[in-house]
């Protein structure tokens, strides 16, 4: 038998949670063994953290056979001689009666005790599953996909040694700088916001990261009164600290509305002949179902309050 599933079926019938899954990796060009329970998945990021390695990769088949004397499917950490570092997932601590590969193709060992038979260091190596109890509060965990928008890498002295970047330590001796990489992905934050905040018409930017606070749409650019009113609102809002995108294209109202929804700015003001005759303009937050008519004299204060701009 060479798979967890095959070993769990008759005639052996060893449940997956009674098996040890043994995986061989190369951490900074040195082999390392990672052992997790048969029904768990190894988390490579956790393994890299546990090893402290700057570079981590799965071992190649020829490397595995050279170090272990067997092929994947028959591997185990019992009595290993050619690999010094063995890490075992912490949930296996104290487990006994386990089954693991015998490092001989086609053979396994029964009644393995993790503490007795594995010369290993315990570490958090597994990927959690939905429904498990939270290690802090005990409530069921839910698992979902996420975007990595920031990260920290410990680079150690790998690059500083190459570049000759050194400092004096407390003893006055030159040592290479211990380096780290700290990054925030601006594009990833934007992508995450768009994924979370959108509808069938386009983006719905949160006010905090919108490229502009407000889309200002004069609906009849050929009409002097509409054009002049829109340009005055534009200047007044800018002076009040509101960031405005003025759509001064000579396009139909429907085109401007569609494009404004697609761009997804938090607020939209439409200036048209009909409303202007009553001294009002259309006010519509992105995503709102109804349009509200607001008096020209109230626009600046209302916009300031909506965007948090100082008067």
CATH number corresponding to 214-307:
3.40.50.800
- How confident is the model over 19-37, as a mean pLDDT? 96
What is the reported pLDDT for 311? Answer: 54
Fold agreement (4-123, 214-307):
no
Q: In the CATH hierarchy, which top-level class contains the domain 4-123?
A: alpha beta
Three-class SS of residue 306? helix
Question: Which residue in 293, 294, 264, 274 sits closest to 219, CA to CA?
Answer: 274
232: left (phi over 0), alpha (psi -120 to 50) or beta: alpha
Q: What is the pLDDT of residues 156-212, one digit of tens each?
A: 888 999 999 999 999 999 999 999 989 998 888 998 899 999 999 999 999 999 999
pLDDT category at 276 given cuts 50, 70, 90 is: very high
Supply the pTM of this predicted model: 0.62
Written as six digits, the tokens of 76 are 């185990």
Exposed e or buried b for every residue in 88-108, given b needs 16+ CB within 10 A? bbeebeebeebbbbbbeeeeb
Residue whose token pair is 């000579």 = 250
Residue whose token pair is 């802090």 = 136
- How confident is the model over 42-50, as a mean pLDDT? 95
User: What are the domain boundaries of the chain?
Assistant: 4-123, 150-184, 214-307
CA distances from 108 to 6, 198, 221, 247, 309 (A): 12, 53, 81, 72, 69
**Beta bridge partners of residue 269, listed in sequence order:** 216, 283
């Amino acid at each position: 038998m060479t798979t967890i599933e095959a070993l769990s079926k008759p005639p052996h019938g060893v449940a997956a949670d009674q098996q040890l899954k043994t995986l061989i990796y190369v951490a900074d060009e040195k082999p390392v063994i990672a052992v997790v329970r048969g029904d768990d998945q190894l988390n490579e990021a956790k393994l890299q953290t546990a090893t402290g390695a700057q570079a981590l990769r799965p071992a190649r088949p020829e490397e595995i056979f050279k170090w272990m004397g067997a092929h994947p499917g028959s591997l185990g950490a019992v009595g290993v001689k050619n690999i010094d570092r063995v890490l075992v997932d912490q949930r296996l601590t104290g487990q006994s009666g386990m089954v693991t590969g015998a490092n001989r193709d086609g053979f396994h060992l029964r009644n393995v005790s993790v503490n007795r038979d594995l010369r290993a260091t315990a570490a958090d190596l597994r990927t959690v599953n939905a429904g498990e109890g939270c290690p802090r509060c005990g409530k069921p965990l839910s698992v979902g996909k996420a975007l990595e928008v920031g990260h920290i890498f410990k680079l150690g002295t790998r690059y500083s040694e190459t570049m000759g970047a050194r400092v004096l330590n407390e003893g006055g001796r030159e040592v290479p700088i211990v380096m780290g990489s700290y990054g925030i992905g601006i594009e990833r934050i934007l992508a995450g916001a768009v994924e979370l905040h959108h509808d069938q018409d386009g983006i719905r930017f949160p006010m905090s990261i919108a490229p502009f606070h407000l889309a200002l749409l004069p609906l009849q650019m050929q009409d002097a009164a509409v054009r002049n009113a829109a340009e005055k609102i534009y200047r007044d809002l800018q002076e009040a600290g509101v960031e405005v995108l003025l759509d001064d294209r000579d396009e139909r109202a429907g085109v401007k509305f569609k494009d404004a929804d697609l761009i997804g700015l938090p607020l939209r003001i439409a200036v048209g002949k009909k409303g202007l005759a009553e001294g009002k303009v259309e006010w519509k937050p992105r995503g709102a179902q109804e349009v509200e008519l607001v008096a020209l004299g109230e626009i600046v204060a209302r916009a300031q309050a909506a965007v948090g701009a100082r008067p």
